[in-house]
A and B are shown apart, each in its own frame.
Chain A
Amino acid sequence: MNLDDRLRDAFRREDPPEGFAERLRERISQEPIAPAREIKRKVEAPRTNSWFRWMVPASAFAALTAVLFSVAISNRRIEEERAGRQAVQALQIASEKLNLVRSKVLNQEGLDK
């Protein structure tokens, strides 16, 4: 018998103490552990939720940005229109004043002659 055989002889498998399987069953029944398949689903679910959790504020932020942008554009357009109207009004006033001055000049010239 060489050393290899002696070691094989010394290291034979042996059964665990009596009641091992029952004690294991008891521990399994006490643990609130789902089988792996269910655990996998549970692990995947929060991952999907977290994706949605990011999507909701991102969408809200995008919508808010769009609203603010359109309000800014609309305000700018109103300002431009108002400025345009004021410019036209200013031109009208200037035109009226010029006409007035022109008529006065023409009247004065008529009197001189």
Chain B
Amino acid sequence: MQSQVLESQPHREPSAQRDAFSELVYTHQSMVFSIAYAFLRDRCAAEEVAQDVFLELHRSVGSLESPRHIVNWLRKVTAHRSIDRQRRMRPLWALDEVREPAAPATPGDPMLKEALRALVASLPDKPRLVMILKYQEDMEASEIAEVLEMPLGTVKSHLQRSLKLLRDKLERKYGELSL
């Protein structure tokens, strides 16, 4: 809707266009930042990625047609910028290097959440993005395939393999929890 507002009123005052863009930023900033943060696990880097994404949106907002288009565009660009940023940063730790909590975790335990985030962060780029889009953005596999421009079968196999990996790892440590 915001894009339509910007696009359908070409003679709108620049200040009104700025307001519409600010509205877009306000609406989507947590989505963009959270995808980048879940992927990079670094708040500063995630903010830089999010800023770059919105700058890019500012340049191309006129060519985006619908709210759904904007959301998909933001997710896609955030995913790509996060991968680019990751390549410039030092590599994240490997799955086996993820530290294990000393005490058994309980449901809702912040340590378990942190362990899950760390485990997902240790996955390769594409499977990691698939997991983030699935569990943070609650997207269907077909939507993820569209955003990441990969075959649906690949998305599904990434999901299955990543979940199996996480389940195995977590069951060894948190066997008493129903995973």
Q: Which residues of A are interface residues toward B (Cβ below 8 A)?
A: 1-4, 6-17, 20-21, 23-25, 27-28, 31, 33, 35-37, 39-40
> What 4 A-B pairs have minimum CB-CB distances, sorted nearest first?
A36-B62, A16-B33, A11-B136, A10-B116
B148 proximal to A (CB < 8 A): no
Indicate if the CB atoms of A6 and B59 lie closer than 8 Å.
Answer: no
Q: Is the interface of A mostly helix, strand, loop or mixed?
A: helix
Contacts of A35 in B (CB 8 A): 6, 17, 58-59, 61-62
Beta-carbon contact of A11 and B132 below 8 Å? yes
Check if B31 sits within 8 Å of A20, measured CB to CB: no
Using a CB–CB distance below 8 Å, which chain B residues touch chain A? 6-7, 10, 17, 22, 25-26, 29-34, 37-38, 43, 46-47, 50-51, 54-55, 58-63, 107-108, 112-114, 116-117, 120, 131-132, 134-136, 138, 163, 166-167, 170, 177-179
A-B contact pairs, 26 of them (CB 8 A): A1-B107, A3-B163, A7-B120, A7-B131, A7-B135, A7-B166, A9-B108, A9-B113, A10-B113, A10-B116, A11-B132, A11-B136, A13-B136, A14-B33, A14-B37, A16-B46, A20-B29, A23-B51, A24-B51, A27-B55, A35-B17, A35-B58, A35-B62, A36-B61, A37-B10, A37-B62
Determine the distance from Cα of A39 to Cα of B63 in the docked complex, in whole angstroms.
11
Looking at the assembled complex, report how far the CB atom of A17 sits from the nearest CB atom of chain B, in whole angstroms. 6
A-B residue pair count with CB separations less than 8 angstroms: 107
User: Which of A3, A8, A10 contacts B117 (CB under 8 A)?
Assistant: A10
**Given A7-B131, A10-B117, A15–B29 Cβ distance below 8 Å?**
yes
Residue of chain A at shortest CB distance from B167: A3
Nearest neighbor of A17 in chain B, beta-carbon distance: B47
CB distance from B140 to the nearest CB of A (A): 14
Q: Which of A13, A24, A37 contacts B55 (CB 8 A)?
A: A24
A35 to B62, CA, bound (A): 7
Q: For A15, list chain B residues within 8 Å (CB).
A: 29-30, 33
Whether A21 contacts B22 in the complex (CB less than 8 A), given A1-B178, A36-B63, comes out as yes
Expressed in whole angstroms, the Cα–Cα distance for A12 and B31 within the complex equals 10
* Least Cβ–Cβ distance between A73 and chain B, in angstroms: 55
Are A33 and B59 in contact, with the CB atoms below 8 A? yes
Tell whether, in the assembled complex, residue A6 and residue B112 are in contact, meaning their CB atoms are under 8 Å apart.
yes
Residue of B nearest to A21 (CB): B25
B55 touches A31 (CB 8 A): yes
Asked whether, in the complex, the Cβ of A40 is within 8 Å of the Cβ of B55, the reply is no
Inter-chain pairs besides A10-B116, A11-B120, A20-B50, 4 sampled, C-beta below 8 Å: A10-B113, A11-B117, A16-B33, A40-B63
